[in-house]
Amino acid sequence: TTLFRSPSPARAALGSSPPATPRHYSGGFAVALAVGTVIGLIESAKGYWIGQSAPNDFGWLNALAGNMPWWISWAVLALVVFRLVDRWPCLEEGLAYAIPRHVLASVLLSTVHLGTSALIAWIANVRDIMPFQTVLIEFTLVGVITDMFTFWAIAAAYSGYRWRDALRSAEWEQQSLELRAARAEAASARLEEQMTEARLAALRMELNPHFLFNTLNSVSALAQKGEAERAAEVLSRLSDLLRRT
């Protein structure tokens, strides 16, 4: 089990990716729809140009019906690919665990896509002159590689998008932790300063009035005994103590 689901270095560095949100799916679908529309229009233009040499009447509607469903349907299937990538992320689950599941999914989605596209093209263009089985075989032979490549391109693009999102989330979390640590350090410094001021205030209260009274009595006694030097020394020490506090 460990062999097939060993955590990757990316997972060790970032932890689990943040869960997908509707923003991820809607943004990915919009991009897939835009790319599919552009490619579909290009392929339709090519089909229309080639169809002009055919003996039958082949117009723009025929070209669009033969090409647009192929690419637009992949925009819809992209939502399924997104969900599969989130369900079995290669970077987190490990390639040996995730890749076989994605291979099976790519085969199933390609089968659905090829069958649906062949049916639409057959109904729109050649229903009266060619059996559906022939169209399906032709679509499969021509499009299976394209479909597999499309699946993996979508999966790779979405994985990169989610990987970038995980990196940004990790960086934001690190910055947030650093900011909280800086604030805690500043609060600790302020608290320590306040405690120092409180201790100094308590010391000042202790100095007043009993300590000063006793000290001055001692100085007075020394002066009466004629010990002026000792009295001056006591006053100097008292002055230093008061200055420090």
What pLDDT, in 10s, does the model give residues 80-95? 999 988 888 876 666 7
Q: Is the peptide bond before 209 cis (omega within 30 degrees of 0)?
A: yes
pLDDT in tens, 133-177: 888 888 888 888 888 999 999 998 888 888 887 777 766 677 777
Return the sign of the alpha-carbon dihedral for residues 119, 43, 111, 32.
negative
Render pLDDT for 164-210 as a digit per residue (tens, 0 to 9). Answer: 877 777 666 777 777 777 787 887 888 888 888 877 776 666 656 66
Amino acid at 34: A
DSSP 8-74: PHHHHHH-SPPPP-HHHHHHHHHHHHHHHHHHHHHHHHHHHHHHTTSSS---HHHHHHHHHHHHHHH
Q: What is the model's pTM?
A: 0.54
Among residues 133, 137, 136, which one has the least CA distance to residue 117? Answer: 136
Better pLDDT: 165 or 119: 119
Which CA distances in Å does 219 have to 96, 228, 241? 90, 9, 16
Q: Which pLDDT tens digit goes with each residue over 8-32?
A: 444 444 445 566 677 778 888 888 8
* Nearest to 162, CA basis, from 105, 83, 101: 83
Q: Is the separation of the CB atoms in 161 and 148 below 8 Å?
A: no
* Cα separation, 95 vs 100, whole angstroms: 8
